[in-house]
Structure 1
């Protein structure tokens, strides 16, 4: 069979079966944007001939990583809201109120570039203005599952004292809802199916019951999913108790939200009973270990969720909270933090981290029929990772194979050499082939310089912990 590309002589991790599906000296055959064959190098070369043969000796070939939850424009605020309490109110809001939509679009490209360069091929981006940001995914050639952030919070929300009940503005909610509908109608299943759309209620405490129900009906009408923060912190719990006298998950259950459409982000404050309810209804969990550890000093109950039979995926959240859109970083954080939480080194093994960034993530976001494993008939979203690196050596195959623990606990992302998305080589030899990386970084830096000037007085007025540390010459 004649194909476009064969990747041969690799440590092939198909992610099929219960673990990583390792085939030593494995190969993959690709035609157009589809995987048409996998197996040993000998098997594939004996049955396929290719226009291009990539020798992957001393390299791992695996499915592209899936970032199940991020806010891409947050890269503009990287390093501006760490080591502090009330990071959103005192760290983000003073900056966000001075940020224009076009500036958010430029900032989002930083996150996407960082993600692709560290092996992410699919991004579940929850942002605004998504109708414009989606153009960055088209430009770079990534796969994206996108939602516009919908809430009823007025533009003046940043001035609200911490702890007070949020005021809702129905006109703001309808304006943002229409943007999400427009996104769906213009972009869903575009770019050869690489771009798919979701609805994005920001959180149950940030909009009215009426708007939540309207979004649920729209998700059913368009047969898509709801990307939503749920039980993400004590701030949300307090808002819901004050407004409805109920915790978020019980409230959402009454609205019929707890089903397979719900992609529940964080679940930081979810109890075991609430988790059992979520998993019994088929909702999935988006777990962002680095962000919640840095922002809240907490470890969300992802192991409880998995043990209850739920499907969970890893995400980075925003670089404003996490400083990183690198899924290798999240895989390591996920494993280590849960070992510490359970005080058990056997908890959350390396192979589970890899699955939550590939096959389990694909299930959690509803794309497992297309991506997540290197399987005949699936889309060719593949990365090639060089393990001939000091941080990943030695490589041992017998009596114990050490590649999987080394990838999760030792890789830093720069070992990703080649990224293939939808059958197209997007990065090769660490060089992005679809955009001018240097110019994009310069453009984002220029934007941030202007935002910092405009936001100066509000940042100073926030009296954040970060600002106090800088004044005390710690930073």
Structure 2
């Protein structure tokens, strides 16, 4: 249960220009604006859209009085919830083609993911990426902070599907066959690999930052402090200043990273990053899985944001990342779904539920991490963390019309209770699974309507992904360097999978 701290009949966004003719008015809805300190609920609300932006939001009666005779279209959203699109602040869509290959094991990356990754082509990644994007959209994600290799190819999927993307190239200096290296040995660095990937990221910034009417923006994407030389880390930091952009980066993401950094520099990751000037407001510090309480608080105080991926880290490491400690230290945080080989699904409803429940369990306190806090981490707080709060994350006049239509007549969202408390937000976080998302709008255009993708052929995408995944699997199975101790392989041989 939650108190939304908002008068349901108030209008948080007074109409600035009633003489404008909106393209669309959505009426008779529950409107979850995510404005103010709560969730900004308007119980009989309406939203007017002009072009790709919110023209007005308020009570249905007021919006109809101002606009009904001027709108091109009016949608009656009775028994629907209209809310901002969800923001996935950390996702590797190019790994979608390897869903489910690396669970229930130690050394997830080395023993699980890397034996497959070296057989994945850029075209395979692009196919898996499109499938992953569709999956996210159908569960309400409208903004994807995608962070992967070959991003100049993957970004074309966002052009085709119509979603919002904030993209970065995964920059490192490690070879494709790194999975053949015994666990614990120092990674070999190849400057030519790092330079190629850095140039890909710079091309991404120059070609795609601000593309598609601003729907696509770019950042720099250093893979992690263990994945490249000090020289390349310093060069990327200087480029972030030059291009005035943020750094999307794994930080303290596992004991493997801590071990590699300590062997090279005699320091743990966060102390090392502080020493070289990375801890500031440009940094999106992803995971912080292995960060101590003191290190977590240090990152929060630095102005860096934290991206928390509860589902992925829970499955991969069996750890609850320190997001609650980070927030309590004054930091800005957001949620991400990470990657399909580790998390299996890329669904922000899952992430909201996991982050709330796991932190309640961690603290042994059911009152911590309430539903509205989890929801903010996938909407307005996420927008602030990734630098898009002026465009998305809430329903406010002048922001982009990235909206979800949630069917409140689905069993998981029923019944709707409004007095003496509202149950919509708790049900979104603890009950919804994603299929309650009926339609998705980005930039004022429907990209999914009545559960059907508008811009791409979903079935064809799935067929192409299956063909590519089958070919990859055959290569992995025939690879003479595939470790016999690979956990899933051993389970297969024992008939356990």
Matched, 1:470 2:492: yes
Query: For residues 340 and 387 of structure 2, what CA distance do their matches in structure 1 show?
Result: 25
Provide the C-alpha distance between the structure 2 equivalents of 1:324 and 1:342, rounded to a whole number of angstroms: 26
Contact 2:114-2:177 at 8 Å conserved across structures: no
Summarize the alignment of residues 279-294 of structure 1 with structure 2, pairs less than 5 Å apart. Answer: 279-294=300-315
Matched, 1:6 2:25: yes
State the partner residue of 1:298.
319
Equivalent of residue 39 in structure 2, options 5, 13, 20: 20
Q: Partner residue of 1:389?
A: 410
2:50 is matched with 31
What are structure 2's unaligned runs of at least 5 residues?
1-19
The 1-side partners of 2:21 and 2:191 are apart by 57
The aligned residue for residue 73 of structure 1 is 94
Q: Which residue of 2 is the match for residue 46 of structure 1?
A: 65
Distance 2:495 2:79 in 1: 46
* Partners of 2:101 and 2:112 within 8 A in 1: yes
Query: Separation in 1 of the partners of 2:465 and 2:133?
Result: 12
Deviations 1:258-283 (A, max 9, x none): 11100000001111221222122210
CA contact under 8 A between 1:13 and 1:23: conserved in structure 2? yes
SS in structure 2 opposite 1:205? Answer: coil
Is contact 2:117-2:176 (8 Å) kept?
A: no
Equivalence for 1:143: 164
Taking the TM superposition and a 5 Å limit, the aligned residue runs for 1:119-130 are 119-130=140-151
TM-score for both structures, normalised by structure 2: 0.94
* Residue 74 of structure 1, CA deviation: 1.4
Which residue pairs with 2:294 in the alignment?
A: 273
Residue 461 of structure 1 deviates from its aligned partner by: 2.6
Distance (Å, rounded) in 2 between the aligned partners of 1:182 and 1:200: 13
The SS at the match of 1:192 is: helix
Paired with 1:393 and 1:413, the residues of 2 have a C-alpha distance of: 14
1: CA distance, partners of 2:320 / 2:468: 34
> In the TM superposition, what is the alpha-carbon distance from 1:390 to its structure 2 partner?
1.2
Work out the CA distance in 1 between the residues paired with 2:249 and 2:273: 11
Whether 1:310 and 2:331 are equivalent positions in the alignment is yes
How many angstroms apart in 1 are the aligned matches of 2:95 and 2:44? 40
Shift of 1:462: 4.7
Distance in structure 2 (CA, Å) of the matches to 1:130 and 1:18? 36
Gap runs ≥5 in structure 1: none
Distance 1:155 1:77 in 2: 16
Once the two structures are TM-superposed, the CA of residue 465 in structure 1 deviates from its matched residue by 1.7
Counterpart Cα distance in 2 of 1:153 and 1:144: 26
Aligned pairs for 1:178-327 within 5 A: 178-327=199-348
Equivalent residue for 1:154? Answer: 175
| Structure 1 vs Structure 2 CA RMSD | 1.0
